[in-house]
Amino acid sequence: MMVLTKKMIEIRTILQKVGQSSTLTLPSIVVIGSQSSGKSSVLEAIVGHEFLPKGSNMVTRRPIELTLVNTPGSTEEYGEFPELGLKHISDFTSIQRTLTDLNLAVPDSECVSHEPIQLTVYSPNVPDLSLIDLPGYIQVVGQNQPLQLKQKISELCDKYIQAPNVILAISAADVDLANSTALRASRRVDPRGERTIGVITKMDLVDAVRGAAILNDKQYPLRLGYVGVVSRAPQSQGLFKMGASNLLAAITKNEKSFFSTHPLEYGPEAGVSVGTVTLRKKLMHVLEQTMSASLQTTSDAIRQELEEATYEFKVQYNDRPLSAESYLAESLDALKHSFKQLTGEFGRPQMRELLKGELDQKVLDLLAARYWNKPITDLLPPPLETDKIADLPKTDTDSLYWRRQLDASSSALTKLGVGRLATTVVAAAIQDSVEALLDQSSFSNHPFARSAVMDAASTILNERFYSTSDQVENCIKPYKFEIDVEEREWAQGRQHVSTLLKKELDDCETAMSTLETSVGGRRKLREVVSFVDKTRKGDVVVEGDGRSGAGGFSAALLSKAVFLRDRADIIKLRLMAVKSNQCANLKNKYQCPEVFLDAAASKLASTAVLFLNVELLSEFYYNFPRELDLRLGKHLSDADIERFAKEDPKIRRHLEVIRRKELLELVLEKMESLKQLEGLERERLASN
Ligand code: GDP
């Protein structure tokens, strides 16, 4: 018959996973008693191990759903906290420590928590049982304990002692039964005493006549009766060394010798139940009966619940199957697919453009530092009669000064760390593209996977970074000594730098007009600027803080205005120069540094890109999908995959409905086979 209980407990455990609904569960034995009634000692005697939290101010603050699983033929004894993922703990002091920690974690302000701790103990020495240990009733609220504690414990117990659960009401023999909080609570919910087992502890503390009278109690008659126990192990030396599974043996031995000394009161003829072993048997029997009796109602409730889940699955999810694994695999495939597209869209030309853009800025900076910062008059040759083009000194094209300027500028350009710059720019662009892909993928709702993907990208890029930037730097090395520009390149540079200068001019002018608006119009700005010009030339002497004549504007604003005006003026001149015949060919390169530097930057960009392509981009395109598989593929644990999928609330709900449906189907199937087993058992008993 015991195999039925085992199966029912299995079903009960699965139902715990389905949900909170109280109709969806099989009954359990709920243990109540006031503090110090000996409740823990009884439970530990049944389990055969000390494992419950102890301590003077230690109040159990959460229900413990204790499932005992008999494992015949095995020698191992261990516990598991399935919800915490703690498995196979064979050290019962460690179980005790975990339980203590879990209890202490309930904040004082909450007093007690209704959330149960699930603990399963596997052992060849335990019966198949499902017990719920509740916080002990307290009589007097102790120091440092919140005032509502008493009330809250009582409420929590009331919730659990409802039908169809069996109540195990623990009372100590040395306390008048009329004062037993456990019995009083049980009477409130089970007034006819039909589902309460009375346990009288500390039988050794009262004389035998009184003890027997308690067990035969007529004042609080219980259909399932009372059992008297002495569940404190004798303090024999070396109990710990004996091995804890001998706790029950020690208690049983002690009980036997105690009860047998009073054969009249506790012997077979006395008609009372005594001893922990008797109690265990009774619990097994009663639990099985109660579970069997609820089987039908529970399976009806499950069937109804299953219908609802099936309906929801159909209506909301179109019967679409989904698992955390399939969801992850699909999402990963989709990401890889869009990544494949990216590889076709971002290649050498795109890299080159990016890098050139970056070098353009450096070229502008160099020009500004080496050419455009001179007073205009320095830069201006006597105007050309023909086209009035402002120019670098024309009289002496080979002037050593301008040669040096150009050499120094191109040297600065080639030595600015092109390798590192190019690698950084391209790596950042790749990272941005991956991020954009992520935003459009289903991973966008998954912080965990998102960071795994970004990590995958940055790992590959970081790994390649130094070697790539070294390679690029090496390959542009020859340009550090000499840059040979061909006519064709010159023409392209001239074309390109015109656009660049035009854009720079536009930017300057936009900034100017913003400034104009902020000072109150173009005229005002002109006045201010011309005032500054005058002070520069020394025509006006500025007194005090220099604000008076400048209309009260700040020095920073004034210098910005002047800077923009000067910059715009010089760019206009240079733009004309670049477009003029003078810059039409390579011969005049010293007078056209803009064109020369642009052509040089183009050469640098093109060369760098050749190596970036081999060293960084191709490597990345090859490795990234593999790295994704590594991080988000098969080696992820089931728990990780589950966690990932559930990050998206929509997917989470979908998965939950499916899981609920599957669990309910599984339970129902198990229940059907259980009923058949039960039928067979009944037939067997009838035929005997
Ligand atoms: P709980 O607070 O209800 O869990 O009670 P405990 O199991 O911790 O027991 C309270 C005290 O009573 C402890 O000191 C136990 O050693 C003692 N005790 C428990 N059972 C017995 C018993 O059968 N006989 C005697 N003499 N003491 C017991």
Global pTM reads 0.65
**pLDDT for 384:** 46
Pairing of strands 64-70, 129-133: antiparallel
Query: Could you tell me if the CB of 40 is within 6 A of ligand 1?
Result: yes
Instruction: State which ligand 1 atom lies nearest to the alpha carbon of 35.
Output: 2
Query: Could you tell me if the CB of 58 is within 6 A of ligand 1?
Result: no
Closest CA to 12 of 218, 292, 221, 240: 292
Query: Could you tell me if the CB of 202 is within 6 A of ligand 1?
Result: yes
What are the tens digits of pLDDT across the range 34-90? 999 999 999 999 999 999 998 766 678 899 999 999 999 999 999 999 888 899 999
Query: Could you tell me if the CB of 230 is within 6 A of ligand 1?
Result: yes
Average pLDDT of the chain? 87
Contacts for 145 with CB less than 8 Å, ≥ 6 apart: 57, 59, 138
Sign of CA dihedral 493, 499, 502, 506: negative
Spacing, Cα 232 to ligand 1 middle (Å):
6
Q: Which amino acid is at 573?
A: L
**Higher pLDDT, residue 207 or 233:** 207
What are the tens digits of pLDDT across the range 111-123? 889 999 999 999 9
- pLDDT greater than 50 at residue 248: yes
Q: For 250-263, what is the HEC assignment? A: HHHHHHHHHHHCCH
Report DSSP state, residue 392: S
- The residue written with tokens 């005997």 in the block is 688
Structure tokens at 273: 């139940």
Distances, alpha carbon 470 to alpha carbons 31, 417, 421, 616, 652, in Å: 73, 10, 11, 12, 47
- DSSP lists the bridge partners of residue 29 as 131, 166
**Higher pLDDT, residue 502 or 545:** 502
What are the tens digits of pLDDT across the range 523-554? 888 887 787 777 776 655 554 444 445 567 77
Spacing, Cα 221 to ligand 1 middle (Å):
24
User: Closest residue (by CA) to atom 25 of ligand 1?
Assistant: 202
Query: Could you tell me if the CB of 181 is within 6 A of ligand 1?
Result: no
Sign of CA dihedral 572, 575, 581, 587: positive
Mean pLDDT score, 601-611: 95
Spacing, Cα 42 to ligand 1 middle (Å):
8
**Higher pLDDT, residue 601 or 270:** 601
Query: Could you tell me if the CB of 254 is within 6 A of ligand 1?
Result: no
Radius of gyration from C-alpha coordinates of the chain = 44
Helical H segments across 476-586, by residue range: 477-481, 487-519, 522-537, 555-579
pLDDT bracket for residue 241 (50, 70, 90): very low
Closest CA to 496 of 433, 583, 391: 583
Query: Could you tell me if the CB of 394 is within 6 A of ligand 1?
Result: no
Classify residue 564 by burial, with Cβ atoms within 10 Å: 0-12, 13-18, 19+: buried
User: Closest residue (by CA) to atom 2 of ligand 1?
Assistant: 36
**pLDDT for 612:** 95
Q: What is the ipTM of this complex?
A: 0.98
31, 35, 36: residue to mutate for ligand 1 pocket, most atoms within 8 A of CB: 36
**Higher pLDDT, residue 411 or 555:** 411
What are the tens digits of pLDDT across the range 396-418? 555 788 888 899 999 999 999 99
| Contact call for residues 363 and 598 (beta carbons, < 8 A) | yes
Total number of residues shown for the chain? 688
**pLDDT for 390:** 46
Mean pLDDT score, 158-184: 94
Query: Could you tell me if the CB of 298 is within 6 A of ligand 1?
Result: no
Q: For 56-100, what is the HEC assignment? A: CCCCCCCCEEEEEEECCCCCCCEEEEHHHCEEEECCHHHHHHHHH
Mean pLDDT score, 262-267: 93
Closest CA to 612 of 474, 469, 477: 469
Spacing, Cα 35 to ligand 1 middle (Å):
9
User: Closest residue (by CA) to atom 22 of ligand 1?
Assistant: 202
What are the tens digits of pLDDT across the range 370-405? 888 765 344 444 444 444 444 444 545 557 888 888
- Name the range with the highest mean pLDDT among 216-225, 596-605, 666-675: 596-605
| Contact call for residues 414 and 607 (beta carbons, < 8 A) | no
Closest CA to 477 of 397, 418, 408: 418
How far is the C-alpha of 118 from the C-alpha of 150, rounded, in Å?
A: 23
What are the tens digits of pLDDT across the range 642-653? 888 888 888 999
Residues above pLDDT 90, as percent of the chain: 56
Distances, alpha carbon 560 to alpha carbons 52, 220, 250, 514, 515, in Å: 77, 97, 94, 12, 9
DSSP 3-state of 199: strand
User: Closest residue (by CA) to atom 17 of ligand 1?
Assistant: 38
pLDDT bracket for residue 342 (50, 70, 90): very high
Q: Helix axis angle, 348-370 relative to 593-612, nearest 10°?
A: 150
| Contact call for residues 52 and 39 (beta carbons, < 8 A) | no
Closest CA to 313 of 637, 676, 660, 675: 660
Query: Could you tell me if the CB of 409 is within 6 A of ligand 1?
Result: no
**pLDDT for 58:** 64
How far is the C-alpha of 647 from the C-alpha of 639, rounded, in Å?
A: 12
Spacing, Cα 568 to ligand 1 middle (Å):
94
Spacing, Cα 36 to ligand 1 middle (Å):
6
pLDDT bracket for residue 280 (50, 70, 90): very high
| Contact call for residues 12 and 26 (beta carbons, < 8 A) | yes
**pLDDT for 92:** 94
Closest CA to 324 of 663, 628, 655: 655
How far is the C-alpha of 495 from the C-alpha of 514, rounded, in Å?
A: 29
How far is the C-alpha of 433 from the C-alpha of 404, rounded, in Å?
A: 42
User: Closest residue (by CA) to atom 26 of ligand 1?
Assistant: 202
CA dihedral 33, 37, 41, 44 (to 10 degrees): 0
**pLDDT for 393:** 46
Query: Could you tell me if the CB of 103 is within 6 A of ligand 1?
Result: no
User: Closest residue (by CA) to atom 4 of ligand 1?
Assistant: 40
Instruction: State which ligand 1 atom lies nearest to the alpha carbon of 39.
Output: 3
Instruction: State which ligand 1 atom lies nearest to the alpha carbon of 41.
Output: 7
**pLDDT for 547:** 47
**pLDDT for 2:** 60
**pLDDT for 107:** 85
Distance of CA 345 to the CA centre of its chain: 33
How far is the C-alpha of 469 from the C-alpha of 461, rounded, in Å?
A: 11
How far is the C-alpha of 61 from the C-alpha of 473, rounded, in Å?
A: 67
**pLDDT for 169:** 97
**pLDDT for 394:** 52
- pLDDT greater than 50 at residue 320: yes
Distances, alpha carbon 508 to alpha carbons 328, 501, 532, 566, in Å: 51, 10, 19, 10
**pLDDT for 374:** 63
Mean pLDDT score, 125-139: 91
User: How many helices, marked H, and strands, marked E, lie in the chain?
Assistant: 24, 10
